[in-house]
Structures are given as structure tokens and as C-alpha cells.
Structure 1
Amino acid sequence: MSARIGVAVMAVLLLVYIVLVGQRAWLLLISGEPIGVAMGAALVVLPIVAAWALGRELWFGFRAEQLGRRLEAEDALPADDVAVRPSGRVMRADGDAVFPAYKAEVEASPESWRAWYRLALAYDAAGDRKRARAAVRTAITLEGRERRGSR
């Protein structure tokens, strides 16, 4: 739940930023001064990029959570006994120990979004957030293909 609160706070702060920069851009655009108009035009780009990035990250989080809930409903989430810190994070050594099994599962069935999602959890447990996000993106793509194929 604290992650959702953090996301909500960051999203609200980014929206405030978008509004304030957009307002400043508008004031510069209507100033009539050539430099002000040029700066205003440049500032219009920032809120557009920020809104796109916010939307993309929120959609990623929504889809990742959907897949996690779906795996949980199928009782297909990893059930490895691993030691965790008081914060709930997996101890890195334990995460590294279970990682090879999930990597082998992806290598055995590279078109399985479930295998990719479990690999993402293993990457995250091993402390490799960049690869975890990439694996979740792959899982999202494969699940989307599976869903479109079953129509």
C-alpha cells in the first residue's frame, strides 16, 4: 500500500509541475517578446514530455500489477522459501540462489509471459531492478499477444 501512496504523491507533484510550467509557458508565449515566445515554446515541450512519461509509468505499473494478480489467482507465483529483511525485501543471497531456476524456465519457454513475470520477480529479488523492469515489459507484451490471439 505504501508504494501506491508514493506513486500517488509523485503523480500529484508531477501534475502540479506540469500545470505550473504550462502556465509559465503560456505567459511567455503571450508576452509578445521574441525571446519570451521562444522560451514559452520550449517550455511547452516539458509538460508534454512529463505527461507522456507519467502516463507511461502509470500504465506500466497498472499492467504489471494486473499480471501479478492474475498469477496470484492462478496460484502460479513463486513459492520459494527465502529469507526476507524486516522491510519485506528478499535477502540478496537467497534471491541469487533461486534465480537460475527462473532463468531456465524462460529459456525453456520464451513465449510464456508467466515465466517472464516470475523471472522479473527473481531479478528483483537479486537486486537487478533494470532487468526486472525489462522482464516485466516482456511479460506484458507477451500477455497482450496471448490475449489478442485468443479473441
Structure 2
Amino acid sequence: MAEGGRVLRIQLLIGFMCVALVVYFVLLGRLAMAFVTTGEPAAVGLGLALMVLPLIGLWAMLSTLRAGLAHQRLARICHDEGMELDVSALPRMPSGRIQRDAADALFVTVRAELDNDPQNWRRWYRLARAYDYAGDRSRAREAMKRAVEMEERDR
């Protein structure tokens, strides 16, 4: 039950942030239109520049939500299939993060699994998680992106 409450709180927070961003984009768009309608060249230029910002913000928000939902879908499938990495026994630092040596050893194991089955998106998902545990976020993002692409092709 505690996990369900945690998930609900996270979903509500995401929803609130999305609504707040949309309100911000609308207000920024109205301000941009006010600048454009003045007819002054500098104000028109500023207004046009301000119109671009909500579009960029909307794109960033939607792409982040899409990626997050895709990652959650892969996590749910891997969990249901028993393919999630079990890190419960790995030693941790006082901060709660997995100790570097243990994360590196986990990475070596997961990388070997991927080398034996490179066309399986689940292996790429596991590699992304191992990169994350080892602290290599940029490679984790790339591996997760590949896992999502492969899973979408498999569907």
C-alpha cells in the first residue's frame, strides 16, 4: 500500500508541474502577443522571441514525459518478467548509493549478458540500470534510449 501511495504522490506532482508549466506558457504567450501588438520594432522582436520560449518549453516537457513513461513501461515489464537487477545485497555507502566496486562488478556481469544477447532490449535496459548504479548517467541515458527503441520495434 505504501508503494501505491508513493506512486500516486509522484503522479500528482508530475500532473501539478505540467499544469503549472502550461499556465506559465500561456502567460508568457500572452505577454509575447502584448509586445507584438504594440507595433514598436524592438517590442515586436522581443515578442517574437518570447513566442519561441513556450514552444521550446512545451517540446521539452512532452519529450521528458514521453521518455519517462517509456522507461516506466520497460521497468514494469522487466519487473514482471523477473529481469530487474537485484541490488539488494550490494554494499552501500552511507548516502545509500551502491559502493563503486560493487556497481562496477555488477556492470561487468550485465555487460557480459548483453554481449551474449545484443538484440534483446531487456539486456539494454539492464545495462542502462547498471550504468546508472555505476554513476555513468550519460551512458545510462544512451543505453535506455536504445532499449526503448528496440522495445518499440518489438511491439
Q: SS at 1:110's partner residue?
A: coil
Match for 1:63: what amino acid?
A
Structure 1 counterpart of 2:147, one-letter code: A
Tell me which residue corresponds to 2:45.
Answer: 38
User: Equivalent of 1:99, from 107, 119, 123?
Assistant: 107
TM-fit CA distance, 1:139: 0.3
Q: TM-score under structure 1 normalisation? A: 0.85
**Distance in structure 2 (CA, Å) of the matches to 1:93 and 1:3:** 32
Deviation at residue 86 of structure 1 after TM alignment: 6.4
Task: Give the paired residue count.
Answer: 147
Q: CA deviation at 1:79?
A: 2.2
Gaps of 5+ in 1: none
Matched, 1:130 2:133: no
1:109 aligns with 2:91: no
Q: Could you tell me which amino acid in structure 1 is paired with residue 47 of structure 2?
A: G
What's the CA shift string for 1:63-87, capped at 9, x where partnerless? 0001000111111112243123566
SS at match of 1:83: coil
Determine the structure 1 residue equivalent to 2:151. Answer: 143
Find 1:63's aligned residue among 70, 78, 99. Answer: 70
With structure 2 as the length reference, what TM-score do the two structures score? Answer: 0.83
Offset from partner CA, 1:73-124 (integer Å, 9 cap, x none): 1111122431235665323332112101111222222211100000011001
Uncovered stretches (5+) of structure 2, i.e. residues with no partner: 1-5
Deviation at 1:30, TM superposition (A): 1.3
* Identity across matched positions, percent: 40
SS of the residue corresponding to residue 111 of structure 1 reads coil
Root mean square deviation of aligned Cα: 2.2
Structure 1 runs of 4+ with >6 Å offset: none
Deviation at 1:35, TM superposition (A): 1.5
Structure-1 residue corresponding to 2:3: none
Which residue does 2:85 correspond to in 1? 78
SS state at 1:28 partner? helix
In 2, Cα distance between equivalents of 1:8 and 1:90: 31
